């Protein structure tokens, strides 16, 4: 397992980092907690020492014979700062080294992840924006904060993402190692989940998509430094840390939200499973079962969201489509290649779904063959959905401007 440094700055969200520390240690990582002096006003030394199993100090002069202000950073495989306050971001961006945490940030050559948390006005201030841009330019991953309830009655962007999602993001950085922020500067849009087409007030036509693969694409893109917008259709999963999430229900709503988000995006990954059909008529009252037999439901085709995007995508934008097939072999590939051409996509991810499939709907693993518009195909054997997403991003990256 990895040697992780957990930096904790002086914000009210410091209490959430206790849960993050627990997740890291339970995964087997060796975690050294480096709080700032202000952080200890929120969570004290005994708590950090008991949860981490290591001594905790803010000073570089404790155990000076071990040169901790240098050694801790040199030995770290990941530095995660959560919460990262406006003050901490400013000190890190200017290269300050006035405590053990900021000294470690200067000596670390491993992936560095900042999870900002502060009031909205502080997050949106030009000084903070400039400091975040500087840290990102240097290769650090700085995730955008979540939107929600802040200190007191205030609400808005500035909330620390949930510990479980920060843990998942840290796991991706540890899995990849360097280079970390190889998608920095690019804007990507990911769709996830399955749409639902209403039949009556209580019923709908839908599919089995859980959204896990789309969320994996969003999570891995954030870990690689991209600015990520996620359009989620009926997904019961926590928001990935650092992604802006829009929630939709129907295929038409998915189309509208994705078209809006895709304006100016460098890449669009259509991992959602839109319904191919919808009921021709919607009943404003629940359709009753009167015992006389079945009820006929006429279906009409829904809009093809990926084809709509492909037909109007600007030069340089990369479109990744998906083809979920229950058949295998040449028939599946022929169907996927036809979709690739019809949707004007650059890549299409062909994966098998249904009984006996190596992954698919609801599973934590997946396998795929990625077909390119130029005719090439890349087989991705069964693996976690996060690892599969990373493999696809590796194929997208050379197609991006300057990639």
**Same domain, residue pair 164 and 192:** no
What's 263's domain CATH number? 3.40.50.10300
Whether 65 shows a pLDDT value over 70: the answer reads no
Whether 51 shows a pLDDT value over 70: the answer reads yes
What is the tens place of the pLDDT at every residue in 169-226? 999 999 987 667 899 999 999 999 999 999 999 999 999 999 999 999 999 999 999 9
What is the tens place of the pLDDT at every residue in 261-299? 999 999 999 999 999 999 999 999 998 887 667 778 999
What confidence score (pLDDT) does residue 171 get? Answer: 95
Assigned domain for 191 exists? yes
**Same domain, residue pair 87 and 199:** no
**Same domain, residue pair 389 and 254:** yes
What confidence score (pLDDT) does residue 359 get? Answer: 67
Assigned domain for 194 exists? yes
Domain, as residue range, for 200: 187-399
What confidence score (pLDDT) does residue 69 get? Answer: 79
What is the tens place of the pLDDT at every residue in 348-358? 999 988 776 67
Binning pLDDT at 50, 70 and 90, where does residue 241 land? very high
**Same domain, residue pair 168 and 201:** no
What is the tens place of the pLDDT at every residue in 169-181? 999 999 987 667 8
Mean pLDDT on 83-90:
98
Q: Which residue did the predictor score with more confidence, 65 or 1? A: 1
Q: Which two structure tokens, joined as six digits, stand for 27?
A: 């995964």
Mean pLDDT on 232-261:
97
Whether 252 shows a pLDDT value over 90: the answer reads yes
Domain boundary among 123, 155, 176: 176
**Same domain, residue pair 211 and 351:** yes
What is the tens place of the pLDDT at every residue in 364-384? 999 999 999 988 899 999 999
Residues annotated as catalytic are: 207
Whether 336 shows a pLDDT value over 90: the answer reads yes
Helix 212-223, helix 163-176: angle, nearest 10: 70
What confidence score (pLDDT) does residue 326 get? Answer: 82
What is the tens place of the pLDDT at every residue in 99-135? 999 999 999 999 999 999 999 999 999 999 999 999 9
Provide the mean pLDDT of the chain.
Answer: 93
What's 83's domain CATH number? 3.40.50.1950
Assigned domain for 281 exists? yes
Assigned domain for 182 exists? no
Between the alpha carbon of residue 361 and those of residues 353, 398, 401, 402, the distances in Å are 7, 29, 32, 34
Contact 107, 96 (CB under 8 A): no
Number of domains making up the chain: 2
Binning pLDDT at 50, 70 and 90, where does residue 361 land? confident
Assigned domain for 181 exists? no
CA-wise closest residue to 222 among 51, 23, 390, 102: 390
Contact 143, 116 (CB under 8 A): yes
CA-wise closest residue to 158 among 122, 191, 182: 122
Whether 363 shows a pLDDT value over 90: the answer reads no
What confidence score (pLDDT) does residue 153 get? Answer: 84
Gap between the Cα atoms of 22 and 163, Å rounded: 10
Binning pLDDT at 50, 70 and 90, where does residue 330 land? confident
**Same domain, residue pair 149 and 217:** no
**Same domain, residue pair 205 and 76:** no
Binning pLDDT at 50, 70 and 90, where does residue 325 land? confident
**Same domain, residue pair 116 and 252:** no
**Same domain, residue pair 159 and 210:** no
**Same domain, residue pair 200 and 122:** no
Domain boundary among 147, 176, 205: 176
**Same domain, residue pair 262 and 157:** no
**Same domain, residue pair 62 and 126:** yes
Whether 231 shows a pLDDT value over 80: the answer reads yes
């Amino acid at each position: 397992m990895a040697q992780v440094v957990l930096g904790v700055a002086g914000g009210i969200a410091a209490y959430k980092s206790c849960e993050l520390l627990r997740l890291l240690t339970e995964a087997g990582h060796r975690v050294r907690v480096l709080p700032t002096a202000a952080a200890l006003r929120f969570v004290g030394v005994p708590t950090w020492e008991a949860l981490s199993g290591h001594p905790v100090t803010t000073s570089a002069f404790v155990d000076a014979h071990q040169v901790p202000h240098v050694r801790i950073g040199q030995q770290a495989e990941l530095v995660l700062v959560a919460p990262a306050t406006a003050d901490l971001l400013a000190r890190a961006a200017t290269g300050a080294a006035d405590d053990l945490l900021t000294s470690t940030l200067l000596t670390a050559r491993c992936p560095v992840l900042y999870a900002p948390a502060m009031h909205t006005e502080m997050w949106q201030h030009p000084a903070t924006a400039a400091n975040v841009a500087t840290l990102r330019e240097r290769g650090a991953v700085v995730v955008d904060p979540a939107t929600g309830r802040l200190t007191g009655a205030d609400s808005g962007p500035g909330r620390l993402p949930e510990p479980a999602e920060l843990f998942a993001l840290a796991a991706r950085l540890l899995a990849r190692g360097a280079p970390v922020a190889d998608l920095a500067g690019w804007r990507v849009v990911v769709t996830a989940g399955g749409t639902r087409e209403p039949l009556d007030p209580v019923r709908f036509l839908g599919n089995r998509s859980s959204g896990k693969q789309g969320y994996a694409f969003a999570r891995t893109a954030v870990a690689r430094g991209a600015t990520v917008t996620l359009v989620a259709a009926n997904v019961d999963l926590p928001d990935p840390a650092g992604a802006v999430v829009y929630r939709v229900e129907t295929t038409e709503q998915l189309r509208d939200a994705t078209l809006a988000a895709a304006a100016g995006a460098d890449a669009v990954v259509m991992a959602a499973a839109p319904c191919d059909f919808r009921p021709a008529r919607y009943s404003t009252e629940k359709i009753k079962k009167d015992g006389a037999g079945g009820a006929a439901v006429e279906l009409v085709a829904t809009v093809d969201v990926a084809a709509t995007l492909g037909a109007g995508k600007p030069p340089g934008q990369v479109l990744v489509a998906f083809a979920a097939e229950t058949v295998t072999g040449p028939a599946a590939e022929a169907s996927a290649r036809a979709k690739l051409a019809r949707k004007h996509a650059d890549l299409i991810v062909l994966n098998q779904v249904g009984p006996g499939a190596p992954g698919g709907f609801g599973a934590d693993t997946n396998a795929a063959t990625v077909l390119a518009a130029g005719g090439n195909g890349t087989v991705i054997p069964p693996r976690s959905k996060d690892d599969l997403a990373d493999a696809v991003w590796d194929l997208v990256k050379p197609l991006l401007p300057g990639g």
